[in-house]
Amino acid sequence: MTTSLVYTGDVDWHTIHNEVFLYEGNCWTTCNGGFCCSNNHPDFKFQLMPTEGTTILYMEDEYEYLCQDGQVGETSLDWPEPQTMSLDYGGIRPLMIYHTPCHLLGLCEGKIDKPLLCKLYPFLPIFFADGRLETLAPASIFELTFEILASQTPCTVMSKAVAYLERWRYHPDQLAPLRHPYIMLYLQAVKHFAEIYREKLLTNKKLAGKTGKDFWSAWELQYLGGRLVDHGEWKTRVAESCRELTDRYGEFLAPKESIPQ
């Protein structure tokens, strides 16, 4: 495989949002009616994180594309204005995501365009800088936590990780529109987050020895309190990935004001 795997023009959001990357027909019938959309789990009794719904995330440019050329939820009592989170790792512009609760419980067709995250669930492909598929990361914090703790996830598709990894390695064309440095950097950031989170989770004294409901109640406090991520280390690793991609492909993260409208 060569660098020709990677596309460096504008991100083709139109193709991405018309593409079916992962289809598992009726898999929602196997997991309590769609765990990924509902966060419905007998041990989840959160105080702040959504249940009977979940949180959806969009990359900054993805959200802006969908606002202009796609469908995002219209702001209402049920659909609050998305908030932003940004990771300023010292690059030309921070990595920013938009996030909002989604209570559509799988019935989003015709109402909003699913974010890429939902189109890939439960796997996020992570690419080496040259475009080869490195690995798959779990697509939600819950799947990641189940995996680290070797706990049973309600998601039956998770057991197909090896099959998807092989399929996407043999057929790189199936993920072609995602091989753009802008998206690859976000995906690298997911990988770095997952690695740091794994270390923090396994060494967190407040969670040690806890299981079931006790674990998840304590976990919510630790997670939302920022105790399961080392942001300094995360920024360092993302900066390194950004450097690697920039060295190879040139500047791909133009400052917002210099992007032609």
The residues that touch ligand SF4, with contacts defined as CB under 6 A, are 24, 27-28, 30-31, 34-37, 54, 56, 102, 104-106, 108, 112, 114, 118, 121-122, 155-157
DSSP state letters, 149-197:
HTPPPS-GGGGGHHHHHHHHHH-GGGGGGG-SHHHHHHHHHHHHHHHHH
Residue type at position 70: G
DSSP one-letter code for 226: T
Residue number with CB closer to ligand SF4 (95 or 155): 155
Is 79 within 8 Å of 100 (Cβ atoms)?
A: yes
Shortest gap between Cβ of 25 and ligand SF4 (angstroms)? 10
Helix 181-203 to helix 141-149 angle (10° resolution) is: 50
Residue number with CB closer to ligand SF4 (155 or 196): 155
Residue number with CB closer to ligand SF4 (147 or 233): 147
Residue number with CB closer to ligand SF4 (4 or 76): 76
Is 19 within 8 Å of 152 (Cβ atoms)?
A: no
Of 205, 164, 173, the closest CA to residue 24 belongs to: 164
Residue number with CB closer to ligand SF4 (30 or 246): 30
